[in-house]
Amino acid sequence: MKALVCVKRVIDYNVRIRVKTDKSGVEKDNVKMSMNPFDEIAVEEAVRLKEKGIVTEIVILSIGLESSQETIRTGLAMGGDRGILIKSPDEDIDPLNIGKIIKKVCDKENPDLIILGKQAIDDDCNQTGQILATLLKYPQATFASKVEKNTDDTLNVTREVDGGLETIKVKIPCVVTTDLRLNEPRYASLPNIMKAKQKKIDILDINELSLDLKKRVEILEVNDPPERKPGIVVPDIDSLVNKLKNEAKIL
Amino acid sequence: MKTLVIVEHNNESIKQTTYSTITAASKISDEAYALILGHNLSTAVDELKKSNHLKKIYFVDKEDLGKPIAENFCDEIIKFLKDKDFTHVFTPSSTFGKNLSPKIATELDVQQISDITNILDGHTFERPIYAGNAIAKVKSNDPIKVVTVRSTCFEPCKLDSNVDVENISSELSTNESVNFVNYDESKSDRPELTSAKIIISGGRGLQNGDNFKLLEGIADKLGAAMGASRAAVDAGFVPNDWQVGQTGKIVAPDLYIAVGISGAIQHIAGIKDSKFIVCINKDEEAPIFKFSDFGLVADLFEALPVLEKKLQ
Ligand SMILES: Cc1cc2nc3c(=O)[nH]c(=O)nc-3n(C[C@H](O)[C@H](O)[C@H](O)COP(=O)(O)OP(=O)(O)OC[C@H]3O[C@@H](n4cnc5c(N)ncnc54)[C@H](O)[C@@H]3O)c2cc1C
């Protein structure tokens, strides 16, 4: 079984986000970038499936600036076999267009499993897996917290839904999106980081795909969120209860 | 402009998220309609009929739709939309909606807009990005706007109408490639997190699942829902559906009490719209104090039993 893992380069989750003064977006210069944490979980899951002998090859795909190669290398150091970068001068690509690009890659690579994070922590859209599954007409198993291969060509996937846990059975080929509790991604060892440098990354220009990728949604401006007014530290529980009764009028 | 609301329910009752989404739809125009898909829907439809703002309710009642399999729901919705002139399709931004709505948009070849928190006009919306650390104002150029709605940002609609309903028959076959296996619902007598007026949440500071009993007594007295940080869920103290935050549930109660929670941005993302935030933490440097209206620096194991007593 061949796995395609899609990874996105995003601002590291520990970085304090600053909105640009011209409201055009958020500050990305000299900011630490990392692989989207949910995609890390997707890479880890593919590697575990390979260690179990279920997956035979792992292809790591990223779409973005030249620098996204680093993100692909991270995936290769974790256990990916080879990489594909679709290079784009513009990072802000609508998820629908990302879906169309990944589909194009799938048409050539024919993966049995496409696995990716349920959302990217930059635009928080939570769409790409669902879009891709629809374009490919493959079943989708989103928000996965457990993935098990059955003896036939199906997966049982447990999904984190609002009211609890739902398990569905999907036929391969399929699309799986990962939730936080699926696994804990490994750190790449130094020897594996060195080995990853030798692994192949194919680079394609986005314009070579001959897709109509016109933008559907414009970002008019990006603003700071409304600030909460500063609160106070109360000295003891009596004053806390008192504040809740008399100021918040809740109790 | 004409909006279709996709109804979230459990075949018996309507989820609160739906009522908030109806309110959002009513801000587009007074042409709001609802579509409910499921099985044995009569009580759910009777409940939905009371919703204000709706012109009409369409329903498809079929055994195959008894479980919310996104592929089957999407096929029905696309078929339904074919001979209609809806300009907007709104779904709650719950796991149900997030799973389904991008599929509807893709079938229509439009770009879905996720998790809107404000409607500026028929094609301009606000939505949080970067875990709510920035708010994007976005404009859709697509002919149909397919949108998921953050329910905590819109009041639920009133329930004193009597809306017309229309039964839609369907002969669509179900998708063979995906099958429902099991639903492990976490049952609770407490209010639902996303619509609760008061929430008390515990974090890693609680140390284990047993210690959440310290929060239970208080939750009982306040009629509160219970939540948790990711660290508490990951450690297995409490079930996953208790997680509040960027990637868990977004909540906006009148009062949110965070106990033994440090206040990581991903947690704050889920609670920022609460009216009052209270924290109990022994570390006065914890970031949660910056977001709290009232903070108490204390060891939670000492403070909670006292607080429970004082609430008598
Ligand atoms: C992609 C991504 C998504 C995430 N999504 C979420 C999310 O949706 N929700 C979420 O919550 N987190 C999320 N996180 C995790 C988040 O970054 C934090 O790790 C997590 O919120 C920390 O949980 P905590 O506050 O319980 O634990 P800690 O940060 O360990 O805080 C424990 C707190 O308890 C206090 N404490 C300890 N003992 C006591 C005591 N006896 N009395 C009083 N106080 C005490 C400590 O002072 C400390 O402040 C996400 C992270 C990533 C990378």
State whether B292 and A127 contact (CB < 8 Å): no
On the question of a common fold for B3-167 and B193-310, the answer reads: yes
| pLDDT band, residue A208 (cuts 50/70/90) | very high
- The yes-or-no verdict on residue B145 having pLDDT over 90 is yes
The CATH number given to B193-310 is 3.40.50.1220
| pLDDT band, residue A91 (cuts 50/70/90) | confident
What pLDDT, on the 0 to 100 scale, is given for residue B186?
86
| pLDDT band, residue A250 (cuts 50/70/90) | confident
So where are chain A's domains?
2-226
| pLDDT band, residue A215 (cuts 50/70/90) | very high
pLDDT in tens, B170-229: 989 999 999 999 999 988 899 999 989 999 999 999 999 999 999 999 999 999 999 999
Helix intervals (H) in chain B: 16-26, 42-48, 70-81, 95-107, 213-222, 230-234, 265-268, 288-291, 300-310
Find the residues whose C-beta lies inside 6 A of ligand 1: A 13, 37, 121; B 203-205, 229-232, 243-248, 260-262, 264, 266-267, 270, 281-283, 286, 299-301
Residue nearest to ligand 1 atom 15, measured at CA:
B230
Instruction: Report chain A residues whose CB lies below 8 A from the CB of B179.
Output: 168-170
- Is the ipTM higher than 0.90? The answer is yes
So where are chain B's domains?
3-167, 193-310
- Residue A223 host element (H or E): strand A217-223
Long-range contacts (CB closer than 8 Å, 24 or more residues apart) made by B294-298: B294/A231, B294/A232, B294/A233, B294/A234, B294/A240, B294/A243, B294/A244, B294/A248, B295/A231, B295/A232, B295/A233, B295/A234, B296/A233, B296/A234, B296/A236, B296/A237, B296/A240, B297/A233, B298/A237
pLDDT in tens, B1-13: 999 999 999 999 9
State whether B222 and A13 contact (CB < 8 Å): no
**What average pLDDT does this structure show over A129-146?**
98
What pLDDT, on the 0 to 100 scale, is given for residue B127?
98
Q: Which residues contact A109 (CB under 8 A, 6 or more apart)?
A: A2, A4, A59, A84
Distance CA A63, CA A88 (A): 7
**What average pLDDT does this structure show over A176-180?**
97
What pLDDT, on the 0 to 100 scale, is given for residue A229?
87
**What average pLDDT does this structure show over A121-150?**
98
Instruction: Report chain B residues whose CB lies below 8 A from the CB of A175.
Output: none
Q: Are the beta carbons of B53 and B5 closer than 8 angstroms? A: no
pLDDT in tens, B36-76: 999 999 999 999 999 999 999 999 999 999 999 999 999 99
CATH architecture of B3-167: 3-Layer(aba) Sandwich (3.40)
Pocket test of ligand 1: the residue of B204, B214, B279, B299 to mutate, having most ligand atoms within 8 Å of its CB, is: B204
| pLDDT band, residue B312 (cuts 50/70/90) | confident
Residue A58's nearest CA partner among A86, A85, A80 is A80
Least CB-CB distance to B134: which of A17, A125, A134? A17
B119 forms beta bridges with: B125
State whether B255 and A99 contact (CB < 8 Å): no
| pLDDT band, residue A217 (cuts 50/70/90) | very high
Q: Are the beta carbons of A200 and A82 closer than 8 angstroms? A: yes
pLDDT in tens, A44-73: 999 999 999 999 999 999 999 999 999 999
- The yes-or-no verdict on residue A13 having pLDDT over 80 is yes
**What average pLDDT does this structure show over B227-240?**
96
Instruction: Report chain B residues whose CB lies below 8 A from the CB of A94.
Output: 111
Distance CA B75, CA A184 (A): 35
A2-226: CATH superfamily: HUPs (3.40.50.620)
* Mean predicted lDDT score pLDDT of chain A: 96
- CA end-to-end span of chain B: 52
* CB contacts < 8 A (A, B): 245
* Cα B127 to middle of ligand 1, angstroms: 25
State whether B141 and A221 contact (CB < 8 Å): no
| pLDDT band, residue A10 (cuts 50/70/90) | very high
